[in-house]
Structure 1
């Protein structure tokens, strides 16, 4: 069902809420979020009566519910005092104690770019969005994307939803926005993100899985839209590898494309480059045709092409079957502000990078000014030296992937860092960011986002 918003009224206890608009292009979850805002009754506690067929279900189609203007509905349910309902936008409250309180143009101070309201265990999504918003060429590409939010294709619908969120994050006069529309689309596209616990509350999810889902859908949507695959243009890492059997002479050459490097964390890993090296050189078990049995192989990977934006994931979580949870490795692993991946590249790529690195060194040793390659955030900077500059960190605080709290730490176009703790935004220093290396229960890096930096 598509069309203009329909106005209804809802009675809850002794209150009647009039002029509530239902958008037929959105899911019932969005309508339930509106009621949560008004009443404090979270969606899982809501029983809405008045539609054809009985109670309103999350997956119901408006066309089958007899939705019409001026309908009178009834809401049953009790508020959850421990969970604050998300307002449509953060209200601009005047403080009577401020010296500017009598100024009708007074606006509350804003620490930086807008935050995102937590709609109940959605920090994994909020932190992912804030980090991806730092990839300005991706934001620019979505600005010109023509897909519709009511598209039948799930990837196109999610891309249109993210375009709307990115657009609203450009605001400079509000403290936070409500991402309920994008959340509804994300849960519709991938029901994993709509999982509830045994109390009916939406569960915490893994931010890395959310990151991967968003990029995968964006890749499909942009290609369907007739554009080149901007996602792979920005993030794709082409790898060349070899599997060598330790017990025979078998060798198998491999090629694959990934969108992130893995930082493995063992007892010998103290720094990010060490973890990346372990991730590129590992022992695996696989079938040997020569031995006609399973054998140990040495798998070696090298980077064959570098992307403008490099994502590194810390492999901090592992499955504990006895407890049925993803447990966390708390080890302190430092990460550099400038990451050099030259040593992880194929010899052919190293030759290409070496020529540029030598040229840059020659310029830097002279009086000429070198171009860092990061002056225009909206433009794609090719990775020509193998050096990258840190521009965002997604952290996790807690002991398990499906619990705890995710936060985004993002650098602006200058040298200022912002901490996006859902709707709470604060200014940080580079030294604050360096402390996110782990070793305890404080926020620790889970994903690092680097941007090509063509200096050495």
Structure 2
């Protein structure tokens, strides 16, 4: 055990090494993660994030910058950075690591993830990214306060509050730089044609799904025009009254890493059920519904898959693309798969099927940022 992280190597690693042969990329590591009773939801997301190279590089840089700064208070970010560092620094290229410290921290910080009941991978991803942002913002605030105190200490006479009265822009962290996009919510009054627009940011897009559909059609539905009438009329500031209106959502600024969450779990007739619908997700995606009306091209590099027939029980695995190889991570087990196998995770064309392995969270990277 190294700093609470158990390192093991077994048959799985040697099988993977044999499968890849001499095709192992220089410096890359493929390690399974130990499941602590019900932590497949975390393991699947962690593997997707580890192979999100821009995110990994920022996290390793954060670890490198902070490991020599004396006693740093342990938090979720330091535990995650340590785990990624442990994996990346391994001498062996394959094996298994137990993310004990990280799991302990997650359970300590958030009661939702305590116990051993089935958890939602998308909920964990949201919690993880937002918690990292919160920690980075607090650290930035501490630095700013320290710098402000230093400046105030050398300024003679009253400062008239100028230093503290400067309006600060919201901090843009490396989480934002990787995952954040901007949506524009447009509402057009059908009486006076006035358009009201409101921007909002997102770290992932949650899409409603339909049977035998595709990501492209789901995105079109997400950005489709909706008419507001009857009880849903819109209050127009110009008309100063409730009016019929048309509302639509447009993607103003696409993110570097586009995370798409398929809404497979819904309440139906007072029951929480899983939608096993077949939704095709392409390896290459063109995002056409942007405000600039220019296509943004993305490549699929990870998929979190839910295995099971319902939302309250089941299992999570992840599919990851690394250096033109696709691998399947199932907790401790790692195996190479053929690219053609991806389509088996689209979902079921029939309501009842033996196939319960369905794509749930998709990770796409912008080809523009990938080529920089």
> Is the pair's TM-score, using the shorter chain for normalization, greater than 0.5?
yes
- Give the 4+ runs in structure 1 shifted more than 4 A: 107-112, 146-152, 244-251, 282-287, 290-298
Q: What is the Cα-based RMSD across aligned positions, in Å? A: 3.4
Aligned CA distance change for structure 1 residues 245 and 429 (closer, same or farther; 3 Å): farther
Determine the structure 2 residue equivalent to 1:257. Answer: 201
**Which is strand-richer, 1 or 2?**
2
Whether contact under 8 Å (1:281, 1:298) holds in the other structure is no
Contact map agreement 1:90 1:174 (CA 8 A) in 2: no
Aligned in 2, Cα 1:159/1:337: closer, same or farther, shift over 3 Å?
same
* Residue of structure 1 equivalent to 2:85: 167
* 2:295 pairs with 1:396: no
The TM-score normalised by the length of structure 1 is: 0.61
> Is 2:221 aligned against 1:275?
no
Match of 2:186 in 1: 242
- Match of 1:344, SS state, is coil
Shift of 1:157: 0.7
What aligned pairs does 1:354-433 form with structure 2 within 5 A after superposition? 386-412=296-322, 414-433=323-342
Look up the match of 1:360: none
1:336 is the counterpart of 2:289: no
C-alpha distance in structure 2 between counterparts of 1:190 and 1:139, whole Å: 23
Contact 1:395 1:406 in 2 (8 A): yes
TM-score (norm 2): 0.74
- Contact 2:185–2:199 at 8 Å: present in 1 too? yes
Could you tell me which residue of structure 1 aligns to residue 117 of structure 2? 203
Distance 1:429 1:338 in 2: 16
- What is the distance in 2 between the residues matched to 1:298 and 1:401? 35
Per-residue CA distance 1:263-310 (angstroms, 9 max, x = gap): 32135x611100111122264775644699999864311111122211
Q: Please list every run of 5 or more consecutive structure 1 residues that lacks an aligned counterpart in the other structure.
A: 1-19, 24-29, 31-86, 94-106, 197-201, 354-384
Distance apart, 1:129 and its partner CA: 0.2
Q: Which has the larger radius of gyration?
A: 1
Aligned match of 1:311: 259
Q: Answer yes or no: is 1:322 the counterpart of 2:232.
A: no
Question: 1 or 2 for the larger relative contact order (CA 8 Å, sep ≥6)?
Answer: 2
Q: Secondary structure of the equivalent of 2:280?
A: coil
